[in-house]
Amino acid sequence: MNIEDLKANGGIVESQLTQRMAHWNGSEITFYVRKLSFGDVDRIYNGENLDASQAAEMISKAVRLGDNGDEALTYEQAYSLDPNLATVFAEHVMEVNGVGEDAGDPKASTPAPSSGSKSRKSSAARSPKPASA
């Protein structure tokens, strides 16, 4: 594989918008979702502000409003969204970006079975949140 092959096969993500429709608050809404690159995703999950909402970061980076998708929500606006609307936006962002249960190839491999333990205690102990300064 070379760089041209990579580009031709979608390996380099272009900033394209996908129009989406959903139902929220009794109405059909239309909005756009931007395909995220690796760098976008990395910034969302490894940003400088460890206390930031990853979902609000994702929505502000990917969801576009307006007739042509030219309006972006700020992080603060995304953080302040109605929880049901935020869920609608987040689900569509994950679908457009090939993440989540309904996205991608249905023949894709399934996750390995868990050990059966439902405890989160050990994982929480390994990754505590830093104390606020």
Give me the pLDDT at residue 113, please.
43
Is 90 domain-assigned?
Answer: yes
Give me the pLDDT at residue 27, please.
95
Give me the pLDDT at residue 14, please.
83
Q: What is the pLDDT of residues 45-99, one digit of tens each?
A: 887 777 889 999 999 999 999 999 999 999 999 999 999 999 999 999 999 998 7
In the predicted model, what is the mean pLDDT of residues 107-117?
41
The DSSP result for 70-98, as a single string, is -EE--HHHHHTS-HHHHHHHHHHHHHHTT
Instruction: Kindly give, in sequence order, each residue whose CB lies less than 8 Å from that of residue 51, ignoring residues fewer than 6 positions away.
Output: 129, 132
pLDDT over 90 (residue 30): yes
Percent of all residues in the chain with a pLDDT value above 90, rounded to a whole number: 53
Is 81 domain-assigned?
Answer: yes
Phi and psi at residue 29, to the nearest 5°: -115, 150
- pTM for this model (two decimals): 0.70
CA atoms of 14 and 130, how far apart (whole Å): 35
CA atoms of 114 and 120, how far apart (whole Å): 13
Give me the pLDDT at residue 59, please.
97
Is 39 domain-assigned?
Answer: yes
Query: What is the tally of structural domains in the chain?
Result: 1
Nearest residue to 93 via CA among 35, 43, 7: 35
Is 126 domain-assigned?
Answer: no
- 3-class DSSP state of 35: coil
Is 35 domain-assigned?
Answer: yes
Give me the pLDDT at residue 118, please.
41
Is 5 domain-assigned?
Answer: no
60, HSE (Cβ side, Cα atoms, 13 Å):
17
Rounded to 5 degrees, what angle do the CA atoms 96, 97, 101 make? 85
In the predicted model, what is the mean pLDDT of residues 89-114?
64
**Of 65 and 15, which is predicted with more confidence?**
65
Domain containing residue 78: CATH number: 3.30.2220
Which domain covers residue 56, as residue numbers?
14-100
Is 53 domain-assigned?
Answer: yes
* Secondary structure E strands in 63-105: 63-65, 71-72
Under the banding of pLDDT at 50, 70 and 90, the label for residue 120 is: very low
Is 78 domain-assigned?
Answer: yes
